[in-house]
């Protein structure tokens, strides 16, 4: 039985938790600690628990309808359990402010990426595209967008560190040279501006968009040969249309249950020639990669990818929990949650940024969904709570003398 949010004690994180959250971008396996919070799902309202139950059941049923049901059930079950663990972590945290320590780990990642690229490839590497041992340029761009939102929505503290952090984040975003993160930044920031509470104080969230746009326009107008920024101006699909066609054709071979979680790679013939692409440092000619060949290839569209792997059955569960999460984010009025959930939605049209496991960015989306669901029930409780009598403020406190 869920406890009304109005009757619960506000969550105070243990002292070690901020340190753990800060370390996650650098040491991603730390997010497995979320499995310890699975019991938090019992605290959700009945509707939310039914939504999550349908999502989990749809993934299991889809696995049973694949060409290889036992392997699909194992892979799909692990993925679904990890997603539920991330949602439960969000319910445990209760407030997006507890995600702030992520920024420190993300800044370490950015400095690491710049150092790694300069040391291994020199300035030419930066001019080509920023790299990292286990974050792809697209991933770096998306993490930079999240870090920018954390900086923008962080209330309090000195301005100097926020300006410095913002400069590092913007530089990393531009050097990553990926259009998907720019799409996420645009839609997420605009959604936060329009849908979050205290709209008047949120107008400045579009400032980073203006800064990035001005830099891109200057580079273009001066015809500077900085490839990452010039890539942002490219309107081509980078071969995604071929990948989408492959995914759609493969789905038709097993329409109801799909081909199975993590088993769509061999069907994506436009990509499969490039090897497993599990991590930038695990290339096709390594023994580890040969064993995992194709396991982490995606259809470059979240819904098409889910359709490929889990068919109509699994996709229906994803759409239900996805729509519920977006509704909860809007209901929460929290700008960070709105930016993350809607920003990722925009990027999901050209990439898959909610499929776990990842270096931490996909898990973050599910954590934000969990916080949103928790905050939404709090907002609903506030709206239905009887108003205090207007005269209550005029009654003096009882004497203690």
User: How far is it, in rounded angstroms, from Cα 134 to Cα 145?
Assistant: 18
> Residue 323 pLDDT more than 60?
yes
User: How far is it, in rounded angstroms, from Cα 148 to Cα 253?
Assistant: 42
User: How far is it, in rounded angstroms, from Cα 233 to Cα 179?
Assistant: 8
User: Quick check: 309 and 355 in contact, CB under 8 A?
Assistant: no
Residue that has been written with the tokens 């300006």 in this structure = 163
Q: What pLDDT does 49 receive? A: 96
More confident residue, 12 or 224: 12
Span 256-307, pLDDT tens digits = 999 999 999 888 887 766 555 667 765 545 565 655 667 888 899 999 999 9
- Per-residue tokens: 395: 């009654």
User: How far is it, in rounded angstroms, from Cα 380 to Cα 203?
Assistant: 25
Output the CA–CA distances (angstroms, integers) from residue 348 to 149, 216, 343, in the order listed: 18, 23, 9
User: Quick check: 161 and 385 in contact, CB under 8 A?
Assistant: no
Residue that has been written with the tokens 């991603």 in this structure = 28
Name the range with the highest mean pLDDT among 85-99, 119-133, 176-190, 294-308: 85-99
Give Cα 246 distance to the centre of its chain: 25
Give the 3-state DSSP-derived string for the chain, with helices as H, strands as E and coil as C: CCCCHHHCCCCCCCCHHHHHHHHCCCCHHHHHHHHHHHHHHHHCCHHHHHHHHHHHHHHHHHHHCCCCHHHHHHHHHHHHHHHHHHHHHHHHHCCHHHHCCHHHHHHHHHHHHHHHHHHHHCHHHHHHCCCCCCCCHHHHHHHHHHHHHHHHCCCCCCHHHHHHHHHHHHHHHHHHCCHHHHHHHHHHHHHHHHHCCCHHHHHHHHHHHHHHHHHHHHHHHCCCCCHHHHHHCCCCCCCHHHHHHHHHHHHCCCCCCCCCCCCCHHHCHHHHCCCCCCECCECCCCHHHHHCCCCCCCCCCHHHHHHHHHHHHHHHHHHHHHHHHHHHHHHHCCHHHHHHHHHHHHHCCCCCCCCCCCCCHHHHHHHHHHHHHHHHHHHHHHHHCCCCCHHHHHCCCCCCC
User: Quick check: 337 and 368 in contact, CB under 8 A?
Assistant: yes
Largest Cα–Cα distance of the chain, in whole Å?
83
Q: What pLDDT does 227 receive? A: 65
* Burial per residue of 189-211, b for 16 or more beta-carbon CB atoms within 10 angstroms, e otherwise: bbbbbebbeeeeebeebbebbee
Span 171-197, pLDDT tens digits = 999 888 888 899 999 999 999 989 987
Q: Rounded to 5 degrees, what angle do the CA atoms 181, 132, 161 make?
A: 65
In this structure, of 107-111, 153-157, 240-244, the range with the lowest mean pLDDT score is 153-157
Q: What pLDDT does 290 receive? A: 59
Span 198-228, pLDDT tens digits = 655 566 677 777 777 777 777 666 666 666 6
- Per-residue tokens: 231: 């890539």
User: How far is it, in rounded angstroms, from Cα 29 to Cα 31?
Assistant: 5
Closest CA to 340 of 379, 316, 370, 378: 370
More confident residue, 12 or 371: 371
pTM: 0.88
Closest CA to 366 of 56, 130, 154, 19: 56
Q: What pLDDT does 392 receive? A: 35
Give Cα 311 distance to the centre of its chain: 23
- Per-residue tokens: 377: 């029930």
The HSE-up count of residue 98 (CA atoms within 13 Å, CB side) is: 22
Q: Residue 300 — φ and ψ, nearest 5°?
A: 60, 30
Q: What pLDDT does 181 receive? A: 92
**Mean pLDDT score, 32-55:** 95
User: How far is it, in rounded angstroms, from Cα 106 to Cα 112?
Assistant: 10
Q: What is the mean pLDDT of the chain?
A: 84
> Residue 88 pLDDT more than 50?
yes
> In the beta sheet, which residues pair with residue 279?
282
């Amino acid at each position: 039985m869920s406890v009304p949010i109005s009757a619960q004690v506000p969550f105070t994180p243990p002292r070690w938790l901020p340190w753990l959250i800060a370390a996650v971008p650098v040491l991603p396996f730390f997010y497995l600690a979320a499995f310890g919070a699975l019991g938090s799902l019992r605290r959700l309202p009945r509707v939310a628990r039914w939504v999550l139950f349908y999502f989990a059941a749809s993934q299991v049923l889809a696995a049973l309808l694949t060409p290889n049901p036992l392997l699909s059930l194992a892979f799909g079950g692990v993925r679904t359990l990890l997603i539920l663990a991330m949602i439960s972590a969000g319910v445990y945290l209760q407030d997006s402010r507890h995600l702030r320590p992520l920024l420190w780990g993300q800044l370490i990642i950015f400095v690491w990426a710049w150092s790694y690229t300069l040391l291994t490839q020199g300035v030419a590497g930066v001019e080509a595209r920023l790299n990292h041992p286990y974050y792809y340029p697209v991933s770096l761009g998306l993490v930079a967008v999240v870090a920018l939102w954390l900086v923008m929505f962080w209330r309090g503290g000195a301005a100097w560190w926020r300006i410095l952090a913002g400069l590092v984040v913007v530089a990393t975003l531009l050097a990553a040279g990926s259009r998907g993160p720019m799409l996420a930044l645009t839609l997420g920031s605009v959604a936060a501006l329009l849908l979050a509470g205290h709209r008047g104080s949120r107008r400045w969230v579009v400032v980073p968009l203006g800064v990035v746009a001005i830099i891109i326009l200057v580079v273009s107008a001066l015809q500077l040969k900085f490839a990452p920024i010039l890539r942002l101006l490219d309107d081509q699909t980078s071969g995604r249309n071929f990948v989408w066609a492959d995914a759609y054709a493969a789905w038709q071979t097993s329409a109801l249950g799909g081909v199975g979680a993590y088993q769509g790679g061999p069907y994506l013939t436009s990509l499969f020639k490039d090897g497993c692409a599990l991590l930038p440092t695990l290339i096709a000619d390594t023994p580890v990669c040969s064993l995992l060949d194709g396991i982490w290839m995606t259809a470059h569209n979240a819904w098409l990818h889910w359709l490929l792997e889990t068919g109509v059955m699994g996709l229906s569960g994803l759409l239900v929990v996805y729509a519920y999460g977006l509704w909860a984010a809007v209901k929460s009025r929290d700008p960070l949650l709105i930016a993350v959930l809607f920003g990722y939605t925009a990027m999901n049209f050209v990439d898959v940024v909610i499929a776990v496991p990842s270096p931490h960015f996909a898990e973050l989306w599910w954590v934000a969904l969990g916080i949103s669901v928790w905050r939404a029930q709090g907002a609903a409780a506030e709206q239905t709570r009887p108003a205090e009598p207007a005269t209550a403020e005029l009654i003096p406190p009882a004497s203690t003398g």
